[in-house]
Amino acid sequence: MVNAALQQEITQLEANFCAALSDPNRLLILYALNDGPRNVTELASELGLNQPTTSRHLKVLRERGLVYTVRSGTTITYHLSDIRLIQALDLLRSAMRDRLSRQANLINEVTQENV
């Protein structure tokens, strides 16, 4: 019974982690932070988002441990917690790009056969 409860907890943690990556704006924030730490105003300006929206996304990323903060006076700077996040995202993008390319090739083949 303990194993089932532990498995359910682990599954929920993984789902929460992945949910943090399910929003395109949060992905853009992670890529921006890969270039270096930023405060919320810098991120909002760079990404063309309003400050409250950016703050809300940063809160999700922080709660899931994908970013961390450093306070200097009144300024809070956000940092990417682990470079492997970007490496994983890049790997996923590459796999998706390959899949789309294969689909496009299949469509082209079918189109050529019908001509």
> Is position 109 within any domain?
no
Residue 13 belongs to what domain range?
A: 2-82
> Is position 44 within any domain?
yes
Torsion over CA: 71, 72, 78, 83 (sign): negative
77, 38 in Cβ contact below 8 A?
yes
7-36 pLDDT per residue, tens: 887 788 788 888 899 999 999 999 999 999
Tokens representing 23 are 């929003």
CATH no. for residue 57?
1.10.10.10
32, 89 in Cβ contact below 8 A?
no
pLDDT attached to residue 56: 98
pLDDT attached to residue 17: 83
> Is position 13 within any domain?
yes
Tokens representing 57 are 């996304």
Give the number of domains in the chain: 1
pLDDT attached to residue 115: 66
> Is position 33 within any domain?
yes
Q: What CA–CA distance (Å, rounded) separates 80 from 38?
A: 10
Tokens representing 108 are 């082209």
